[in-house]
Amino acid sequence: MDSIWDSRVLSPEAVRLDGRVALVTGAARGIGAATARALARFGADLGLCDREEEGLRAVVRDAESLGARVVAGCFDARQGERVEDFVAAVEEALGSIDVLVNNAAGTFAAPFLDVGERGEEALIRENFGTVTRFVRAVVPRMHRGGALVHVTSVEAHRAAPGYAIYAAMKAAVENLSRSLALELAPRRIRSNCVAPDMIPTPGAPLPPDGLSPGGWALTPWPERGAPEDVAAAVVFLAGDLARFVTGASLAVDGGTSAAGGWKRMPGGAYEL
């Protein structure tokens, strides 16, 4: 098959998402809200869902003010029947879905031995089951090919004491994404992950000075991260600039995964 660049010029227009339909889960706040607004600015129409009604309404208003057509659904992404109905409504109103951003997730802090079966089941359903459920609902509606973008975490690639099951599910999503990249390639559907860390959100605020209680920098990069940094990575993976990128995981973490145990101290020196 020919490359798209045989008949097109690589230019700034290639980043645009005009005429495409993107579905974002967990779109009411934080990374999901920033991603929805960014996709709208780059020309996409949107299907947005979240269980937080007030925040979702605000994001819908912003996206529509940016010119996007929007279909919104306020429900819990763990509800399988609601997921199927919502995805069908998005396709009916906006047409073939081109981008799925699996962002909905949640966790709580507890040692593994203190997490009972009900808590474990809830974590699995929220962090892995929502991903598989939306993939199954959306992929048959990707009639022009498309892009799956799964928001995981740096915890998909390292231990997370106190969050063991959450981290295991993020690792599961990362592995699933690679398998989907191979299975869906004949349908021209790409599957990639974005793995953030040290991104302040309403559920996970960070110190404004970017320093830990011990005085060392939270990231090697000297500037604070923001939800928009993750949204920028999603926009890249959603569009033609990433059309030969599949099965990848893009770290948006200010260098924390590269640093391992190294910590940047005041003055710029690193210590273990």
| Catalytically annotated residues | 166
Task: Give the pairing of strands 45-50 and 70-74.
Answer: parallel
Q: What is the DSSP letter of 85?
A: H
Angstrom distance (rounded) from CA 45 to CA 63:
9
The tokens of 11 are what? 């230019």
CA distance 203 to 57: 19
CA distance 195 to 172: 13
Residue pointed to by tokens 């021209």: 188
Q: Say what the alpha-carbon torsion angle 253, 147, 236, 218 is, to the nearest 10 degrees.
A: -10
- Residue in the block written with tokens 């396709």: 91
In the structure encoding, which two tokens stand for residue 41, read together?
């600015």
Question: To 5 degrees, how large is the angle CA 23–CA 26–CA 28?
Answer: 105
The pair of three-digit structure tokens given for residue 254, joined into one six-digit string? 């200010």
